[in-house]
Amino acid sequence: MQPTHQIFPSTEKDGSDALPFKIRGITKESTEYEFCTLSENPGSPSLRTIISQYLGLPNSRKVNVKAGQLFLILGRLRCLSFALEKYNVGLASQPVEFLQYWRCHTVNLLSSFGVRPSSDPVPLQITGLKDLISHMESLFVQEISQATESLETGLVTFEALGELFRPEIPVKAMTGLGNNPPVLRVTDSYYEERKNIHGTKKHFHVNFEFVVLVGDHFSIAAFSEVVPAWGGARSQKLGEFAYQPIPMDEQKSFEARGERCAQFGTGGEKYLAYLPHSFYMHSSRARRDASAMAQAANSSLSLTGGRIMVDMARGASLGHYPCQGVDEASLAIIALAHRYRQWFAKGSPSNETDTGFLTVWDTVPSELNIYCWPALVGFSFTAKAWGHVLIDGLSQIEFSDNAFDRLVLSQERKQLLHAVVRHGTAPHIQDLITSKQGGLIFLLHGPPGVGKTLTAEAVAEELHRPLYYVTMGELGLTPDDLESRLSDVLDLCAKWNAIAVLDEADVFLETRSNSDLIRNAMVCVMLRTLEYHPGILFLTTNRVRTLDPAFESRITIAMRYESLDADARMKVWQNQLDGVSVAVASDVSCKELAEQPLNGRQIKNAVRLALCLAADQQSPLSQRILLKTLEITTFARQNMHEDNAWQDSLK
């Protein structure tokens, strides 16, 4: 058999049948490619230059490469061809944001070969690139078919990585986000052979990109992975592999998630609800006085749902990212956020998309929605902490619009409260009823469980605003701590139009004395801070013996709450039973239940315990179950009050 010397036929319509490479050889192992330079397309590198650089060869007039060497970089050639095709198609048919991404990406690719494309939006072409890829795929069709079949059966071999990581196939990454994997775009992939004293060791390189919302802009984060050839079993289960291809029928759900990313993350802050197991508290923002155990708890996944203010811009300014960890994707986001802050600090105009430093958009190109990172930054009012929240766990809040009507207050009080919170900050009347900045301060005082905190919650539901609940113990024990933390709380409330509740405020409300200088200093801090708060603030306390005159002058409305009488208790019982999601027996009598002298919180707990008993007995919530619950809990409370044995142990 005689050796061959051939030129592979062209499949590219570039106006010429000549290609910049020749193919020699009989067998696959002996096949060799010779690359030379023909007339180059303007703004594009020659195929010879590309092959030389990818393989680390001298870029001489002629470059000879074995087929096996070229097969190592088949993924790189595919990625380059894919980028050129996307850019050229985008010139005519895609929106400007899409073209700007692909131009930036393609320019970066070509600039690595010492070529700077023309600033004019003209098609880019590398003569012979598609022909070379086609011939390589024909020559190594057996290896490619075996890799494809392996992946289709759910197994991954090292040799199949080149077919797993193709530029046109999105892959999902197994990260610390649980069942919400990010989707990555493959931008480069290739095999590399490294020689050492033990012989030759193969590695597989793959580069990824994905879209991240940082601040008020979308941008691109990128990272690389290097996979060494594994020994032992020749294949791994695809379902256990760190990166997995996404079937076509699953891609729609990821695209929809990207659309929600834009919906919830852009256009300013958004007040939303989140599901259990979807909010991750950031440990770096744990309270300064928290113990190590408390900080560890604050860095974990929140097991409960709640409400959150998604605010990407403020979160970015405070150093919060939509991730937390040391995996490659998270580190890429952190590096991107640092570059973004540097760019933003320069005051770059918002319409500057390709900055040369990073790519930013106000809106993400629709074709890149699938690659949006699956988490956003926000502040949880439930956990009282910054963190990141999974997009799939977010939804619009269903406000309880009847919460205000269900308050157990006299109609006159409710009418006054409703009027003040609705109209008290109007420009034409605010100077008449409140402080310098037009804020409203309410003092609610009375025994526990009579509806003080519930009043603030009902006002927040009525106005569709966030409620930030803080106890005075969380604000610190020194004037400096109090000023810093209270200012942080009220700044957030003012920024987000949230309603603040400061519970246990009696220590600051009572008249100052000459002997307690630290408390006097803290009261002064409190007075000064509240003076300039423009929003709605509730102060709640169980007792106020003597109200400090300075506080009295700053309070818009002071309301005393008495212990619940029988009629009020009956209404509380009715409200609680109306809100349960199980069947309530027809024999339930709220009037009989109200005979027990309980407060609102005790009634709520009694209903919860009765629901547990009903579920355990698989029966409707009946009067018998409710009375039995009251009997048990009342007996327990009496025992606690009567048993003084614990006091003797202290003597």
Could you write out the DSSP letters of every residue in 105-122?
A: HHHHHHHTTT----SS--
- Are the CB atoms for 589 and 623 separated by under 8 Å? yes
> Does the structure show a pLDDT above 80 at 502?
yes
Rounded Cα distance between 607 and 586, Å, is 16
Q: Residues 72, 75, 78, CA angle at the centre, nearest 5°?
A: 135
Q: Which of 159-173, 242-256, 326-340, 404-418 has the weakest average pLDDT?
A: 404-418
| Predicted pLDDT at 437 | 54
Of residues 182 and 473, the one with the higher pLDDT is 182
| Predicted pLDDT at 647 | 54
Which pair of structure tokens corresponds to residue 114? Answer: 């010492």
Per-residue pLDDT tens digits for 610-643 = 888 888 888 888 888 888 888 887 765 665 555 5
> Does the structure show a pLDDT above 90 at 124?
no
Per-residue pLDDT tens digits for 509-536 = 766 766 677 777 888 888 888 877 888 9
Rounded Cα distance between 475 and 487, Å, is 10
Distance between start and end Cα atoms, the chain: 108
DSSP string, 169-228: S-EEE--TTTT---EEEEEEEEEEEEEETTEEEEEEEEEEEEEEEETTEEEEEEEEEEEE
**Domain end marker among 340, 360, 395:** 395
Q: Is residue 516 part of a domain?
A: yes
> Do 367 and 324 share a structural domain?
yes
Q: Helix-strand-coil percent breakdown of the chain, rounded to 5?
A: 45, 20, 35
> Do 623 and 495 share a structural domain?
no
> Do 582 and 548 share a structural domain?
no
Q: Is residue 146 part of a domain?
A: no
Q: Which of 3-12, 113-122, 541-550, 565-574 has the weakest average pLDDT?
A: 3-12
Q: Is residue 373 part of a domain?
A: yes
> Does the structure show a pLDDT above 60 at 356?
no
Rounded Cα distance between 620 and 613, Å, is 10
Task: Print the domain residue range for 124.
Answer: 5-139
Nearest to 247 by CA among 161, 169, 336, 174: 169
Q: Is residue 13 part of a domain?
A: yes
> Do 516 and 428 share a structural domain?
yes
- Under the banding of pLDDT at 50, 70 and 90, the label for residue 482 is confident
| Predicted pLDDT at 3 | 42
Q: Is residue 247 part of a domain?
A: no
> Do 331 and 260 share a structural domain?
yes
Q: Which residue bears the tokens 């004019």?
A: 120
Of residues 164 and 435, the one with the higher pLDDT is 164
Per-residue pLDDT tens digits for 545-592 = 667 777 777 888 888 888 888 888 888 888 888 888 888 888 888 888
**Domain end marker among 104, 139, 174:** 139
> Do 358 and 292 share a structural domain?
yes
Q: How many domains does the chain have?
A: 4
> Do 571 and 455 share a structural domain?
no
| Predicted pLDDT at 13 | 40
| Predicted pLDDT at 82 | 95
> Do 556 and 577 share a structural domain?
no
| Predicted pLDDT at 644 | 57
| Predicted pLDDT at 546 | 67
| Predicted pLDDT at 286 | 40
Displacement of CA 297 from its chain's centroid (Å): 19
| Predicted pLDDT at 295 | 35
- Sequence-distant (≥ 6) Cβ neighbours of residue 81 within 8 angstroms: 126, 129, 130, 133
Q: Please report, for the domain that includes residue 618, its CATH number.
A: 1.10.8.60
**Domain end marker among 139, 174, 197:** 139
Q: Is residue 488 part of a domain?
A: yes
Share of the chain above pLDDT 70, in %: 85
> Do 604 and 545 share a structural domain?
no
- Under the banding of pLDDT at 50, 70 and 90, the label for residue 177 is confident
pTM confidence score: 0.84
Rounded Cα distance between 393 and 213, Å, is 17
| Predicted pLDDT at 643 | 58
- Under the banding of pLDDT at 50, 70 and 90, the label for residue 149 is very high
> Does the structure show a pLDDT above 70 at 648?
no
Rounded Cα distance between 157 and 524, Å, is 70
Strand partners, 379: 309, 386
- Are the CB atoms for 406 and 604 separated by under 8 Å? no
> Do 605 and 482 share a structural domain?
no
- Under the banding of pLDDT at 50, 70 and 90, the label for residue 424 is low
| Predicted pLDDT at 365 | 84
Q: Is residue 377 part of a domain?
A: yes
> Do 95 and 15 share a structural domain?
yes
Rounded Cα distance between 493 and 482, Å, is 16
Per-residue pLDDT tens digits for 91-101 = 877 777 777 78
- Under the banding of pLDDT at 50, 70 and 90, the label for residue 290 is very low
| H or E segment and range at residue 557 | strand 557-560
DSSP string, 398-427: ---TTTTTT--S-HHHHHHHHHHHHHTT-T
Q: Is residue 184 part of a domain?
A: no
- Sequence-distant (≥ 6) Cβ neighbours of residue 265 within 8 angstroms: 213, 310, 312, 376
Nearest to 606 by CA among 585, 590, 587: 590
Pairing mode of beta strands 243-245, 171-173? antiparallel
- Are the CB atoms for 571 and 595 separated by under 8 Å? no
Nearest to 473 by CA among 460, 488, 485: 485
Q: Which residue bears the tokens 């309270």?
A: 287
> Does the structure show a pLDDT above 70 at 299?
no
Highest mean pLDDT pick, 430-439, 542-551, 592-601: 592-601
> Do 417 and 553 share a structural domain?
yes
| Predicted pLDDT at 642 | 57
Q: Which residue bears the tokens 């690595």?
A: 112
- Are the CB atoms for 507 and 473 separated by under 8 Å? no
| Predicted pLDDT at 426 | 62
> Does the structure show a pLDDT above 60 at 297?
no
Per-residue pLDDT tens digits for 13-64 = 443 457 889 998 888 888 999 998 766 666 788 899 999 999 988 878 888 9
- Are the CB atoms for 312 and 213 separated by under 8 Å? yes
| Predicted pLDDT at 204 | 95
